[in-house]
């Protein structure tokens, strides 16, 4: 849950910036936070802290989140 808050916080902080360039920088940081959540998810599964079903649901959300952030970056850059 904390990892998801980091993603949201990075997007929010970037949105408060004065330029798209700065916003994009924070969106890339948010993508890094998605990768951190993915890493933590694999660890949680390996340690049997979460079920396979929960892993699959969360992994799907992470993948979609990363896709949406990447698409937004492309849009802001004018390439998407």
Residues 49-68 pLDDT 10s: 999 999 999 999 999 999 99
- The C-alpha angle with vertex 49 and arms to 42 and 40, in degrees rounded to 5, equals 30
Residue-wise pLDDT tens digits, 20-29: 999 999 999 9
Distances (CA, A) of 68 to 27, 45, 49, 64: 10, 25, 28, 6
In this structure, which CATH number among 3.30.470.20, 3.40.50.300, 1.20.1440.60, 1.25.40.10 belongs to the domain 7-77? 1.20.1440.60
Q: Where along the chain do its domains lie?
A: 7-77
């Amino acid at each position: 849950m904390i990892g998801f808050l980091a993603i949201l916080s990075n997007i929010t902080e970037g949105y408060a910036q004065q330029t798209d360039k700065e916003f994009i920088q924070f969106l890339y940081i948010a993508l890094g936070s998605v990768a951190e959540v993915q890493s933590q998810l694999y660890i949680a599964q390996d340690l049997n802290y979460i079920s396979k079903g929960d892993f699959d649901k969360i992994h799907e959300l992470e993948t979609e989140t990363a896709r949406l952030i990447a698409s937004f970056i492309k849009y802001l850059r004018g390439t998407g």
